[in-house]
Amino acid sequence: MNALRMIFSLGLLAVFSSEGVSQSPELPISAGLVVHIGSSDGAWECAWAKSGTVLVHGLTLDAESLARSRSAIQKQGLYGLASVEEVTTFKKLPYAGRLVHVVVADLDALGDQGPALAEIRRVLTPNGIALLKQKGVWQRHVEPMPGGMDEWNHWDRAADGNSLSRDAFIKPATGIRWFTSPSRAEPGNFAGMLSNEGRIYYHAKNPGREETDSDEYAPKGTGNFFSRDAYNGLLLWKNPLERDPRRHAMAAIGGKIYFAHPETGKLAVLDGKTGKRLHDLSDAMPIATLLPKSFLKQNQDDRTLIRVEGGTLFQAYKKELRALTLDQQGKLLWKFDGAKGLVRWFVVAEGKVFVLVAQKEASLRGEPYCHVVDAIVALNSKTGRKLWSNGDYAGLGLIRMIYDDHGVVLPLIPDLENLNAGKYSQEYRVVRLDAATGKPTWDTAKNSPEAAKNPLKASGHNQVPIAAHGNIYIGNQTGFALDAKTGELTKKFN
């Protein structure tokens, strides 16, 4: 019988016949957590778990069904991938909210003992699916993605460089939702952490991995590129990856992962669902394949940064910035040459690319840490045409800049000698440039004389600028906040 489709007020339902069908319903996923409400003999649990990529949890109300189901699972050697638990009621399911990918329930057979649809929806992840048999037919309900749920697509969240989540569901943590190893007890364990379409991606060293005395990492097979479900932590796939990918050169958007492959030197594209390598962006700049022991100890010419925005991938490497198509060809749209300067940082917003062209790097305890400004340049993101250039802050230090509300915020470090002396505490001069003209809308060096008596200081490794709630926050262990419209000091924090 052909599948019938209809739109239901709670989501999309696919309705199909179950007449004469005794086998388990076909799962709509290839990996994830499946819950079967009303287990009787373990047959469905075994059928689903045989793939080796699905974790199945069955629920039953009686001891006899529990014994039959567990016996079947044990006989087929599937315990671990499949399990069944006896509960006292189906009215309240024993799961945290938004945890389960697929719920399967024969509501006709369960009768009054079955859970309400609202309870089933509570435990489904966004885009999770409920396969429910009602009045002789199986119906498929797809739980919609709630509005206000954010993603983390770049190293610093998005192409604007502002590391502030817009997620409306964030609340104070009251417990651990899920946990996986390896932990970050080992320094430098993780490289990058991205989220997209309900999945998280990261690179991690295997436990106990040590770095050698040379400039290369330990032998092959010492790390993996992982994908896990963001809601329950289940492993979806992993790819062996000898060297750590550059954390600034990773982005996950539209179900794909774009990253500078540390072993081939090419910009690679992976399928987010499977981890399969789809293709390389042919016109991207190849990068050095040798990654030194610490990310911050890379040579000045070996840093690369990528951002994806508006259907275009932007790559900065050495003295050049390129814009590439996202299709399989990865064709060059335009390129910007920093001439004698290094293209070290850029952000993308409102159809423009704001580029930091640097004279050189300033170091902190021998590590490249801060860029010495040559100029800030704005380019048209579609054509690469130069819109404006501002060289008024040449010679000052800049770790990174962000875009906020039609402006570009520059947390400048005037005293590079203090930085080069290895001091983590810095005094700042903060400037906001108008995104349309490149002219300053405010400059803390030109604030009131009273403000000059209260220097802006921040301390801690890699002090971060964040725009939030009408303020510009700068700091790490200690720092300060400025009014985003005027640049006046609003608070200091420790």
**CA–CA separation, 193 vs 465, rounded Å?**
19
Q: Per-residue pLDDT tens for 225-265? A: 899 999 999 999 988 877 767 778 899 999 999 998 888 88
Query: pLDDT, tens digit, for every residue of 392-436?
Result: 999 998 988 999 999 999 999 998 877 666 667 788 999 999 999
Q: Which of 369, 428, 344, 402 is nearest to 164 (CA)?
A: 402
Compare 210 and 141 and report the one with higher pLDDT.
Answer: 141
Average pLDDT, the chain: 85
Q: What is the torsion angle, in degrees rounded to the nearest 10, for the CA atoms of residue 175, residue 179, residue 184 and residue 188?
A: -130
- The two three-digit tokens of residue 83, written as one number: 């399990």
At the topology level of CATH, where does 148-169+177-337 sit?
Answer: Lipocalin (2.40.128)
Domain with CATH 2.40.128.630 in the chain: 148-169+177-337
Encode pLDDT of 83-121 as tens digits.
999 999 999 999 999 999 999 999 999 999 999 999 999
Sequence ranges of the chain with CATH classification 3.40.50.150: 4-142
CATH of domain 4-142: 3.40.50.150
CA pair distance 225, 333, nearest whole angstrom: 30
Q: pLDDT grade, residue 11 (50/70/90)?
A: very low
Instruction: Summarize the confidence of residues 341-347 as an average pLDDT.
Output: 90
DSSP sequence for 133-163: EETTEEEEEEPPPPTT---B-BTTBSTT---
Q: Strand, coil or helix: what is 401?
A: coil
Structure tokens at 381: 């993101």
pLDDT band (50, 70, 90) for residue 18: very low
Segment among 137-146, 161-170, 382-391, 446-455 with least mean pLDDT: 446-455
Q: Tell me the backbone φ, ψ of residue 83, rounded to 5 degrees.
A: -155, 160
Q: How many CB atoms lie within 10 A of CB 170?
A: 11
Q: How confident is the model at residue 490 (pLDDT cuts 50, 70, 90)?
A: very high
Do residues 31 and 54 make contact, with C-beta atoms less than 8 angstroms apart? Answer: yes
Residue 103: per-residue pLDDT? 98
Residue 130 near residue 140 (C-beta atoms within 8 A): yes
* Whether residue 334 has pLDDT greater than 90: yes
Q: What was the pLDDT predicted at 14?
A: 40
